Structure 1
Amino acid sequence: MSIAFLVTALIMVATPGTGVVYTLSAGLSRGRRASVVAAIGCTLGIVPHMMATVTGLTALLHTSALAFQVLKYLGVTYLLYMAWAALKDKGTIAVEGETEPHPATRVIVSGILINVLNPKLTMFFFAFLPQFVSAGEPDSLLRMVELSAVFMLITFVVFTAYGIFAASVRNHVTSRPRVMTWMGRAFAGSFLALGVKLAFADQ
């Protein structure tokens, strides 16, 4: 495992994106447990991209403009829904003063969808992983799976750290209604901005 791969993966994961925003909002709205569950969901959302990469399906997505556009706009639609949910104080990203029962499966599914419906993640795997696998390596498929697993582990650790940090300041946020209001708007704006950015992304 090269240092270059670990550093590059860490930078890519730590850079704020949809998964980070979702995990932060889960930690602020429902505490530490919810943030860890959200991190699990976002991490599991990487699996389809990994499978697409190692089986060669990414090549189809890379060459087919229609396939890319369909997946892209599904992702945009879901991000806009998340923005609306944050703004309307509903769903898994509501910043609330009281902790309400919230099925872990719903939080996980939302996290999975956020990453599954992100074609840029597949493009990242397509362009990123092969750089660290030698062309003549006999077990190249196994090597790509190994690297993908490490990337997922880094994702889980970093996202969990983000979420636990958010949960640690939760009481300071929930005790201030004005802060909660602006926090909800900030998350809505973040999802909206990410959706717009994805909408204008090229293949």
Structure 2
Amino acid sequence: MLSMEYASEFLTIALVHLVAVASPGPDFAIVVRNSVSYGRRIAMYTSVGIGLGILLHVAYSLVGLSVVIKTTPWLYSTISYLSAAYLLYLAWGALRAGPSDSAATVASAGQRPMISPRKALISGFLTNGLNPKATLFFLSLFTAIISIDTPIMVKSLYGLYLAVATGTWFCFLSYLLSTSKVARLIGDKGYWLDRLMGVVLVALAIRLVTL
């Protein structure tokens, strides 16, 4: 348990994280896409991968690498371009989505051939882990909100909470998107939502390399 000394700090972190995780971004787009295209199970694995990606940001923030990344322009640019390239790769698959010719597939809300849980997990991890906006978030978190005097063990607990909370949020989103009512609403036109997420991913990729 965190002592009262760090309770206010933790509450601030939790509130800032709630706003950040609820804001639409690459993580949101890939979870929506995988929920529509592959169903709840794959979306859940994607969500767990996103949560694991948070641990990567926490790890380099704890050792001060987030400051190095931000203050080294070529390194930050490299991460931005890698992230944009990966988002465009995901967008290409989403934009190619179309109506299924298979009656069985139509019956399962227009899903495409299933991807493996491992691939879904890696997809979520890379989407979050390569996101330079997450780097900025953790840079501000570990420099402006979390005191330099806060013990590294407490900071690690903060990071663990952020990873679990992020994964839980996106698992909840995956559940909502794959409920029977939502599935019926999407029906066999789900590929249009998939294409929309593709457009969103392209826009996010462009934004990464132009800001």
| 5+ residue gaps, structure 1 | none
What is the alpha-carbon distance in structure 1 between the residues aligned to residue 142 and residue 81 of structure 2? 25
Equivalent residue, structure 1, for 2:86: 78
1:194 aligns with 2:207: no
Q: How big is the shift at 1:76?
A: 0.6
What is the CA–CA distance in structure 1 between the aligned matches of 2:148 and 2:65, rounded to whole Å? 18
Which of 6, 17, 30 is the equivalent residue of 2:38?
30
2:25 aligned with 1:14: no
Match of 1:159 in 2: 170
| Structure 2 gap segments, 5+ residues each | 1-6, 99-107
2:137 corresponds to which residue?
A: 124
> Structure 2 CA distance, aligned partners of 1:89 and 1:185?
6
- What pairs up with 1:37-56 in 2 under 5 angstroms? 37-56=45-64
Mean CA deviation greater in 161-170 or 66-75: 161-170
Name the CA distance, whole Å, in 1 between partners of 2:36 and 2:49: 17
1:56 and 1:4 map into 2 onto residues whose CA distance is: 21
Contact 1:133 1:143 in 2 (8 A): no
Partner of residue 109 from structure 1, selected from 102, 111, 122: 122
Find the aligned partners of 1:12 and 1:98 in 2 and give their Cα distance. 30
Q: Name the TM-score, length of structure 1 as normaliser.
A: 0.87
Residues in 1 aligned to 2:86 and 2:94: alpha-carbon distance in whole angstroms: 12
Q: How many residues align?
A: 192
The structure having more radius of gyration, on CA atoms, is 2
Pick the aligned partner of 1:146 from 144, 157, 167: 157
For residue 178 of structure 2, give the secondary structure of its aligned residue in structure 1.
Answer: helix
Q: TM-score scaled by structure 2?
A: 0.84
